[in-house]
Structure 1
Amino acid sequence: MPVTKRLEILDLIRELRQRLNLSQKQFAAKVGVSFKTVNRWENGHTEPSSIALKLIEEMLRKMGEPGKSLLNQYFPEAE
């Protein structure tokens, strides 16, 4: 995966978590992963699995209007 794509994913995770006002630990619980996993995503050491990305996409959809801009930015093919 190109660096820009990896950077986009870590930006998405961080921005979504901040918009939801969640700590990494709280966000991890919502996605069903460990705190360490979210920390690694945000630091660009690993990338979310396709299942985790699907859950994140679903979180954005459930947010309604506030999540729509992130959904369009990071999941344009989903619309």
Structure 2
Amino acid sequence: MTERPKFPNFIRELRKGLGLSQEQLARQLGVSFQTVNRWENGRASPSQMGIKLIEQFLVEMAVGGQDLWEQYFSEQHPNR
């Protein structure tokens, strides 16, 4: 079985799917542009708080967000 895409791919796909720039996504999540840039370029991983912000954002999206999260991280979050 192939390895699941990593977090940078998830952030990039989410952002592009929503038609947002890194700066716009950062504003939506309440984090800095630099934070989103580091996540997307694999130079940093989100903290637990960052993960909670992303999960909450996806829940609020309602359509598609939860599916995308589960596609990338269902093994890490078995309660989902």
Instruction: Please classify the TM superposition score into its range, dividing by the shorter chain length.
Output: 0.7 to 0.9
Which residue of structure 1 aligns with residue 26 of structure 2? 28
Query: Quick one: which of 65, 70, 73 aligns to 2:71?
Result: 73
TM-score, scaled to structure 2 = 0.77
RMSD: 1.9
Q: Report the AA paired with residue 50 of structure 2.
A: A
Counting aligned pairs with the same residue, the percent is 48
Which residue of structure 2 aligns with residue 19 of structure 1? 17
**Structure 2 unaligned spans of 5+:** none
- Of 54-63 and 67-76, more deviation after overlay is shown by 67-76
TM-score, scaled to structure 1 = 0.78
Query: Quick one: which of 15, 35, 38 aligns to 1:37?
Result: 35
By relative contact order (CA 8 Å, sep 6+), the higher-ranking structure is: 2
Q: Point out the structure with the larger helix share.
A: 1
How many residues of Structure 1 are paired with residues of Structure 2 in the alignment? 75
Cα deviation code 1:28-59 (max 9, x no counterpart): 11112211111111111111111111111112
Structure 1: which 4+ aligned runs deviate by more than 3 Å? none
CA contact (8 A) 1:57 1:75 kept: no
**SS, match of residue 64 in structure 2:** helix
